[in-house]
Amino acid sequence: MAVVYQTMTAEIHRASRPSARSPRGDVVLAAPSVADGVAIRCLVDASKPLDANSTYAYLLLCRHFADTCVHAKRDGRTVGFASAYRPPLSRDVVFVWQVAVAQELRGQGLGKAMLRELLSRQSLRGCCYLETTVAPSNEPSRRMFRSLARELDAPVEEGVLFEEADFGGDRHEREALIRIGPFAARQPKGEPLHES
Ligand SMILES: CC(C)(COP(=O)(O)OP(=O)(O)OC[C@H]1O[C@@H](n2cnc3c(N)ncnc32)[C@H](O)[C@@H]1OP(=O)(O)O)[C@@H](O)C(=O)NCCC(=O)NCCS
């Protein structure tokens, strides 16, 4: 089964297998596999202001957390990635760690489509809150999460997860906590367009 999401310039397909192919030019969403780890690290590295983690960290995400990560490919190339996990002590929460979209596809709905795909996963059954952090200067990220909250008809609370001082000597902005929810366990409104 494939679910097709439409952006301005491309269709976005959800695939149940990482190796799934799509018509040329369309974007395929799937869980990542270990073979995607290096390309994902390169995408994050090119997606400032994100902090790129080690290749090993992305390999672990692809190996152990694939069910809660989303990988987007177009013509065989990595064009998007969202990492997330269920915090062990808060089983009704999904924590979204990093979201990155290739420069040429930004502003076309791919970031939000990956979050919708994430929330539709069986692995997130029982989750009714999404948490993430956003640096105060990252307006595109804040807008993406606020827009998702509107689609979900869910309230948004803001707090602080990590203060500047928590980063020690690193020059790092405070990380504001955004908590969306509660939301019903369902497909957010408006998407997908159709299933085939
Ligand atoms: C943040 C990021 C993932 C957004 O991805 P995207 O595919 O461009 O976002 P979308 O097209 O799905 O947009 C989602 C919403 O956010 C808004 N938005 C996204 N980027 C925006 C920008 N630069 N300026 C204003 N609004 C923006 C869109 O208008 C849309 O709102 P709508 O649904 O009300 O129309 C992308 O800009 C990126 O990779 N940035 C670099 C890495 C980063 O900062 N990641 C976020 C931290 S986890």
**Distance from residue 107's CA to the centre of ligand 1 (Å):** 6
Q: Which residues of the chain have pLDDT under 70?
A: 1-11, 15-24, 186-196
CA 112 to ligand 1 centroid distance, Å: 8
pLDDT score at 171 = 85
Global confidence as pTM: 0.90
Q: Compute how many other C-beta atoms are within 10 angstroms of the C-beta atom of residue 27.
A: 27
- pLDDT per residue over 144-182, tens digit each? 999 999 999 999 999 999 999 999 988 888 999 999 999
Instruction: Please give the C-alpha separations between residue 130 and each of 42, 100, 149, 188, in angstroms, as whole numbers.
Output: 26, 17, 9, 13
Residue 131, domain CATH? 3.40.630.30
Mutate to test the pocket of ligand 1, among 96, 103, 143 (most ligand atoms within 8 A of CB): 143
The whole-angstrom separation of Cα 44 and Cα 101 is 8
Task: For residue 140, give its domain range.
Answer: 3-195
**Total domains, the chain:** 1
Residues in the ligand 1 pocket, defined by CB under 6 Å: 47, 49-50, 98-101, 106-112, 138, 140-141, 143-144, 147
